[in-house]
Structure 1
Amino acid sequence: RGGSGKTTASVLAAQHYAMAGLNTCLVINSQDPTAEFLLDCKIGTSPIKCNKNLSAVRLETAKMLLEPLRQLKQADARVNLTQGVLEGVIGEELGVLPGMDSIFSAIALARIVWFFSNVNNNKKKEKLDIVVYDGISTEETLRLINAASRAKLYLKYLRNLADKTDFGRLAGPSLLRLVDEAMSLRGSTSQFNGTLSAEIWDSLEKILEIRYWSFAFQRGSSAFTEPSKFGCYIIMDPNSEISVKSALRYCGCAIQAGAQVSGTFGVAYQHSSAESVKEIKKNFSPIPFASTPHLSMALPLDWDAVLNNLSEDTRNLLSPPTHCNSCLSPVQFDLARKSVTLLMPGFDKSEIKLFQYRGGSELLIEAGDQRRVICLPPKIQGRVEGAKFVDSSIIITMK
């Protein structure tokens, strides 16, 4: 959350991992110069080495627009869909429209962390152990987390439109051929026909699917729910009541968006009291909380001293996900009682709405500005019998 020490905490985490010997990349998605000051290096749109194991890069959407446009032009030159009109588009003239930041951030992160393993790319990439992402506004980051699963649903309905309407059958093949060429899903030698059209749809769905778990609490984007691959941290100012309440709310929103919330951090100022920290831990339980040191901007930092003085709670919370033994499960199924328990911090019962579709095999949960689908195991599928709110969790009983 902006203004709460988010960038400072991101730099601290990146330095912690790098000095532990892990090859780390810090990805900054803003024009905030804080990271440059703390790392004492200029961060640009190409990765730059800040120290032995740490590189950093800044995402700038205006520049990221150019490469996809170039690829589209190359694809259009082969399929001649726009008959040369696209070639006349000058990328440098194009500005950034609302929503583009999230889309291009997702593309850039996909390339960095290599989520899209089934997309061909001949460029050699440096193996990374940890990617620390300092995102844009909290809402935009939440949209980014669940973008793949949401896009998969839109893709499903677009496919129905293309298969079952005259307009779709007329325009769909040409558009899909352009997509096929631009994304190189099948290579330049493939012959386009009706069968290939279906195969391209399947390839697009696989890209968004990444991996399917029958009873994962959210279809698609499953990498975001795996503690071994992804962790989300909420940053707050423990001395600000508004900041603490906002952090608790965003914990619930992040879980609702499909993220694995690994913990929360609060910046420890000299006037921070032990009582306030204890109260925060109680309010955020079972989500772990730890304090991070306040980093002064007045003098160059001695990172060895900063990292050596980290508390044990902070070190444990920053442990790489593969070594984390206390990761939360935001969805728990009780087959014997035919119930589902959902961790929903920051919400009260009146803000949560339940819907059911597809014969009781799924639950759609609406809370705040997020929706998610819970796929129910066969043994507890059915209609909702009741729901109660207990200790930041909602317990849903099925008939």
Structure 2
Amino acid sequence: MASSLSSPFLLGIPISHSNLPTRPSRLRPLSLAMAANSSESSSSSSTGTSSQESTKLITFLGKGGSGKTTAAIFAAQHYAMAGLNTCLVIHSQDTTADYLLNCKIGNSHVECGKNLSAVRLETTKMLLEPLACLKQADAQLNMTQGVLGGIVGEELGVLPGMDSAFLASSLERLVGFLRTTSPKNQKNKFDIVIYDGISSDETLRMIGGTSKARLYLKYLRNLAEKTDLGRLAAPSLLRLVDEAMSISGSRSYFNGKLSAEIWDALDQLLERGSSAFLNPQRFGCFLVMDPNNPTSVNSALRYWGCTVQSGGQVSGAFGITNNVKSLERVKKDFSPLPSAFISSLSMNSPIAWSRILLDTVNEDARNLLTSLASQRSNVVSPVKFDTKRKLVTLFMPGFDKSEIKLYQYRGGSELLVEAGDQRRAIPLPPEIQGKVGGAKFMDRSLLVTLL
């Protein structure tokens, strides 16, 4: 039943009114299917980095204890068995992954099987290299008169917020969302990078980081170009960062460019990153839940909506259970997302991954992962525009109508949607730009009428 709001403005006002036996596998050789798909796609040419040359990032969201790490390792083993060069990235001190892989995971890449490597990201280690590059750049430019060179990185601790910042840098080196060309050094080139994060909320911040940073960049540019302090300090800081990037082996985005061109290049860089999270050929995100636990199911639904709000897309949902019927009961809540179940693992004995992967009870889960890798994934459009009716439909699963707020700060040119501790700016087509005239919440979507 739909609830509606007919007030002429919704500016800052909440919307309110109302054990399964092992059987012989019937899976066809996935590596052959993927190889065929790769061969077909590689025959087409494109400018920049083609989708087939690009590394795909896959991550999992869900309530703590729902099985995110289990699902991540299941996916890593699946892609490795299919012949794809796969890297599992762990970003916590939890040793569950070590046990499930029977492999000691450290802060350097370690081989855990054919086509499969793993690494544990540690911020205390990640901050050392960029600091060293900055110190080397400062030594060449002499901007701080040696003050920067006196910093001992090994004695620095990790402050709140550093984990996310250095995570973004490390993942960018692996997946290259900001790059326009393929790296010359293919030594650490992976087909698939699977990220098992500290928490789902931290992962959501990572997904939305580049799109949200564009507005901050806009205000920083105004500060740099329109104030005496900015005009004095900005060129030197940009030069220091550019020199450090060159030392680290990264491509220079600033060399030989004017100040305005530098800011434009930075904005294009962030736009490229945010677009990657909406591209199923570059990014996949799966919900994970325990179908027998209502709080786990509700959390997965919530993270679905939060992912949309952050600027990403959800590719599917997994239920970790041995009770197939329990997943069938919740499938309708996640429709039209494709969903499958992964059989629960026994922790009392070493994990036989080849047996688990080839077990037909996990066939649907592997097919779901394969459909993403072969770029046939279908996702729900987060925004739809109806120019004739001057209607905007916002897909917002997992939210109640009372939890959504709408704002308009730039006339009628855009909508600002706030929900799930996320803000999302939606530019409106010229044909329907105007003030909000009303809204109603129906079928997990917010329908906004413009005047």
Instruction: Report the TM-score, using the length of structure 1 for normalisation.
Output: 0.90
- Letter of the structure 2 residue corresponding to residue 35 of structure 1: A
Alpha-carbon shift at residue 298 of structure 1 (Å):
1.5
Alpha-carbon shift at residue 187 of structure 1 (Å):
5.5
Q: Which is worse superposed, 143-152 or 82-91?
A: 143-152
- Equivalent position to 2:129, from 67, 85, 96: 67
SS in 2 for 1:225: coil
Q: Which runs of 5 or more residues in structure 2 are unaligned?
A: 1-61
- Equivalent position to 2:276, from 219, 223, 231: 223
- Equivalent position to 1:337, from 389, 400, 403: 389
Whether the 8 Å CA contact 2:397–2:445 is kept in 1: the answer is: yes
- Letter of the structure 1 residue corresponding to residue 448 of structure 2: I
- Equivalent position to 1:38, from 100, 104, 115: 100
Whether the 8 Å CA contact 1:181–1:188 is kept in 2: the answer is: no
Q: Distance in 1 between matches of 2:370 and 2:407?
A: 37
Q: Say whether 1:316 aligns with 2:386.
A: no
Q: Say whether 1:96 aligns with 2:158.
A: yes
Whether the 8 Å CA contact 2:174–2:189 is kept in 1: the answer is: no
Whether the 8 Å CA contact 2:309–2:419 is kept in 1: the answer is: yes
Alpha-carbon shift at residue 188 of structure 1 (Å):
12
Alpha-carbon shift at residue 198 of structure 1 (Å):
2.9
Whether the 8 Å CA contact 1:176–1:197 is kept in 2: the answer is: no
Q: Distance in 1 between matches of 2:252 and 2:96?
A: 43
- Letter of the structure 2 residue corresponding to residue 223 of structure 1: A
Alpha-carbon shift at residue 291 of structure 1 (Å):
1.1
Judging changes above 3 Å, is the alpha-carbon distance between structure 1 residues 261 and 364 closer, same or farther for their aligned structure 2 residues?
same
Alpha-carbon shift at residue 362 of structure 1 (Å):
1.6
How does 1:171-250 map onto structure 2 within 5 Å? 171-184=233-246, 196-210=258-272, 221-250=274-303
Q: Distance in 1 between matches of 2:239 and 2:300?
A: 45
How does 1:82-121 map onto structure 2 within 5 Å? 82-118=144-180
Alpha-carbon shift at residue 13 of structure 1 (Å):
0.6
Whether the 8 Å CA contact 2:343–2:362 is kept in 1: the answer is: no
2:227 match: 165
Alpha-carbon shift at residue 312 of structure 1 (Å):
4.2
Whether the 8 Å CA contact 1:118–1:207 is kept in 2: the answer is: no
SS in 1 for 2:146: coil
SS in 2 for 1:175: helix
Q: Distance in 2 between matches of 1:339 and 1:202?
A: 32
Q: Say whether 1:18 aligns with 2:80.
A: yes
Whether the 8 Å CA contact 2:86–2:116 is kept in 1: the answer is: yes
Whether the 8 Å CA contact 2:356–2:362 is kept in 1: the answer is: no
Q: Which is worse superposed, 178-187 or 235-244?
A: 178-187
2:68 match: 6
Judging changes above 3 Å, is the alpha-carbon distance between structure 1 residues 232 and 120 closer, same or farther for their aligned structure 2 residues?
closer
Whether the 8 Å CA contact 2:242–2:255 is kept in 1: the answer is: no
1:138 match: 200
Alpha-carbon shift at residue 232 of structure 1 (Å):
0.8
Instruction: Report the TM-score, using the length of structure 2 for normalisation.
Output: 0.80
Whether the 8 Å CA contact 1:180–1:200 is kept in 2: the answer is: no
2:16 match: none
Q: Distance in 1 between matches of 2:309 and 2:251?
A: 35
2:418 match: 366
Judging changes above 3 Å, is the alpha-carbon distance between structure 1 residues 267 and 79 closer, same or farther for their aligned structure 2 residues?
same
User: CA deviation digits over 1:186-221, x for unaligned, max 9?
Assistant: 869957xxx6333332332232221xxxxxxxxx61
Alpha-carbon shift at residue 122 of structure 1 (Å):
5.9
Query: Would you say how many aligned residue pairs link Structure 1 and Structure 2?
Result: 384
2:439 match: 387
- Using the aligned pairs only, state the percent identity: 64
1:216 match: none
- Letter of the structure 1 residue corresponding to residue 328 of structure 2: K
Alpha-carbon shift at residue 253 of structure 1 (Å):
0.8
Alpha-carbon shift at residue 14 of structure 1 (Å):
0.7
Alpha-carbon shift at residue 325 of structure 1 (Å):
4.4
Q: Distance in 2 between matches of 1:91 and 1:313?
A: 48
SS in 2 for 1:146: helix
- Letter of the structure 2 residue corresponding to residue 281 of structure 1: K
Q: Distance in 2 between matches of 1:120 and 1:182?
A: 21
1:277 match: 327
